[in-house]
Structure 1
Amino acid sequence: MPDGKLSGKLPPVESWNPEHCGDIDMAIRADGSWWHEGGRMNRERMVKMFSRILRKDEDGETYLVTPHEKVVVRVEDAPFIAVRVDRAGEPGPDQALAFLTNVGDVAVAGADLPLRIETDAETGEPSPYVRVRGRLEAKLARPVFYELAAMAVPHPDGSPTLGVWSQGTFFPIGSAA
């Protein structure tokens, strides 16, 4: 690890089932920053290490999980931020869109890792997300969403919806109207 990056396979957090052990006053804010006991965690390597043992359970709660402990982490929006998108292949159904997160994960959108857009009912503002692993998502940073919008094509069914393709799946991102 001379460059300070974590490497190797992710731990099998989905197979670990310890009892809930409480709350250690940890939070991930909407801007992707991690906080513990009211102070910002500034050590990037530590944040990346914790991100590898993060899991969102069926109860909707997000936890740091080890084989022996499970502690709640409050997440304001999404635990990760997608800070970059890269397109591989010719534009169209066969292209692949790979998203890089603020903690170094790469998620290639497709049937297993979908893109989704939530739209605020009052403001109409979109909130775009991509699944990273398990039930964990990354919110797309505004510039990344603008890049997606620039790649948008009409829906294949002819409806007034724009979207993007990745690994053979069409993901609607907004109305063309």
Structure 2
Amino acid sequence: MTSSPGTILSVEETLKAILPEGKFGAELPPVEKWNPETVRNIGMEIRADGSWWHEGGEIKRDRLVKLFARILRKDADGQTYLVTPHEKVIVAVEDAPFLAGRMDVLGTPGPDQEIGFVTTVGDVTLAGPDRPIRVETDAETGEPSPYVLVRGRLEAKLARSVFYELVELAVPAPNDSNLLGVWSKGSFFPLGPVA
């Protein structure tokens, strides 16, 4: 992706805003505090498989995708943007903006266990009361679509293999033996009915 005068984010200004010291750090930029007036649509999209595209071409540079992921924000209106102090760029999201490709379980099974997820762009999220796991089921096919909240309003869809690992941890719900789910940080997250 290149920057041309008057179109998209100045690469230099964007890098200063995102990586003030020139390198990735643990802290994310404060995108929730940035409210630029300029909004652009430059053909950015995130497909269901987690791949990032610009004007019909896949962005294959992993570092660039990770850089963009750091400034992603989903607003209350449901629209997702790349946000800098200077402008917002509309991002069309086919399913979820992130894909969780790994899961780790800490502690003993039950309410005290903690389930962590790592996205393909390096975000780490620990499921709990403030980072819920939810499962949508397609009414026609019965196919489950599992998600976990990563930050703000941004979710990660669980890769199929990760969902299978999660299902292996499933136990009956505390108040409904016909419903299976998982515990993380003291919260119970339903996954679906007993088959």
Report if TM-score (shorter chain) is over 0.5: yes
What are the Cα deviations for residues 19-65 of structure 1, in whole angstroms up to 9, with x where unaligned? 14210110000000000111100000000000000000001000000
Shift of 1:6: 3.1
1:152 and 2:170 equivalent?
yes
Q: Residue in 2 aligned with 1:112?
A: 130
1:171 and 2:163 equivalent?
no
Shift of 1:158: 3.3
Root-mean-square deviation (CA, aligned residues, Å) is 1.0
SS in 2 for 1:21: strand
What are the Cα deviations for residues 128-167 of structure 1, in whole angstroms up to 9, with x where unaligned? 0000000000000000000010000010113300000000
State how many pairs are aligned: 173
Distance 2:38 2:172 in 1: 46
SS in 1 for 2:177: coil
1:44 and 2:62 equivalent?
yes
1:142 and 2:165 equivalent?
no
Question: For residue 17 of structure 1, what is the amino acid of its counterpart?
Answer: N
Q: Residue in 1 aligned with 2:113?
A: 95
Instruction: Choose 1 or 2 for highest CA Rg.
Output: 2
Question: For residue 60 of structure 1, what is the amino acid of its counterpart?
Answer: G
Question: Segments of 4+ in structure 1 off by > 6 A?
Answer: none
Question: For residue 139 of structure 1, what is the amino acid of its counterpart?
Answer: K
Q: Residue in 1 aligned with 2:86?
A: 68
SS in 1 for 2:44: strand
Question: For residue 95 of structure 1, what is the amino acid of its counterpart?
Answer: Q
Distance 1:77 1:164 in 2: 23
1:57 and 2:81 equivalent?
no
Distance 1:96 1:120 in 2: 28
Contact 1:6 1:48 survives alignment (8 Å): no
SS in 1 for 2:67: helix
Q: Residue in 1 aligned with 2:27?
A: 9
TM-score after normalising by structure 1? 0.95
Contact 1:117 1:128 survives alignment (8 Å): yes
Distance 2:121 2:100 in 1: 9
SS in 2 for 1:104: coil
SS in 1 for 2:43: strand
Percent of aligned pairs sharing the same letter: 69
Distance 2:31 2:189 in 1: 28
Q: Residue in 1 aligned with 2:50?
A: 32
TM-score after normalising by structure 2? 0.87
SS in 1 for 2:68: helix
Q: Which runs of 5+ in 1 are unaligned?
A: none
